[in-house]
Amino acid sequence: MRIRISYQKMLSLRFTSALDMQRIWERSIRRASYKITYSQGYHPQPKIQLGLPLPLGFISEDEKVDVWLENDIDKELIKTNLELNIPEGLEINQIEKIDPSSKPLVTLIKISEYAVRFWDDNNKVNLNHSISDLLQEKEIIRIKRNNKPYDLRPLILDLHQMEAKDDFNIFMALKSEQNQMGRADEVMFALGYELDAFLIKRLLSY
């Protein structure tokens, strides 16, 4: 049985890495007394597959993880039991049953939407002007961690100032394919903001 868990990652877990999230789900499922299927080979691993890894420091309204279980169990029962065993800072939105042979979750994601909130209202000054100037650029050259340059501009599908909603100030939609991955923090850096000036929330990946 393959299930897909959609969940929220809140502020208290914003500095939890993708690897740690996988371990959290493994421990939570075991505490709920469900048996996870293992991969084959010399070093069997629990079959838990995160969707698009959430960068460190981000929060999210809609993350996904696929888990293979040994037994077929009612999804609502799984949800009820897991909710009793997940740590504070996680909230399950829903659980779906997925065809065990369907494609890896990460290959299905093409676009991600984000909202950005500033810690200081002074950062909102001239925000529309800064966004307009950035979108007029033909190229936005950024440097990857491997020191290779890349053009961020074609990865930005939408970028605009939001009307006040839960104190979030910027909306952006970015390409999120495996070979064309736009990072929301890189967009903020290109706008001229420092890392400690903002909080990023992933709204949706699809």
Q: For residue 185, which phi and psi values (nearest 5 degrees)?
A: -65, -35
- Say whether domain 109-205 belongs to CATH 1.10.286: no
Q: What tokens appear for 133 in the block?
A: 């100037």
Name, in order, each residue with C-beta under 8 angstroms of 58's C-beta and a sequence gap of 6 or more.
9, 14, 184, 185, 200, 201, 202
The reported pTM is 0.93
Low pLDDT (below 50) residues in the chain: none
Task: Report the alpha-carbon angle 101-84-82, nearest 5.
Answer: 0
In which residue are the tokens 């706008």 written? 191
The domain ranges of the chain are 2-107, 109-205
- Eight-state DSSP code of residue 11: G
Residue 42's pLDDT is 87
**N- to C-terminal Cα distance for the chain?**
23
pLDDT per residue over 157-172, tens digit each?
A: 999 999 766 689 999 9
Residue 165's pLDDT is 62
What's the CATH architecture for 2-107? 2-Layer Sandwich (3.30)
Phi-psi category of residue 191: left, alpha or beta, with phi > 0 → left and psi -120 to 50 → alpha: alpha
Q: Do domains 2-107 and 109-205 have the same CATH topology?
A: yes
User: Residue 109, Cβ neighbours under 10 Å: how many?
Assistant: 19
Residue 174's pLDDT is 98
- Based on C-alpha coordinates, what's the Rg of the chain? 19
pLDDT per residue over 80-107, tens digit each?
A: 999 999 999 999 999 999 999 899 998 9
Q: Is 101 exposed, middle or buried (0-12, 13-18, 19+ CB in 10 A)?
A: exposed
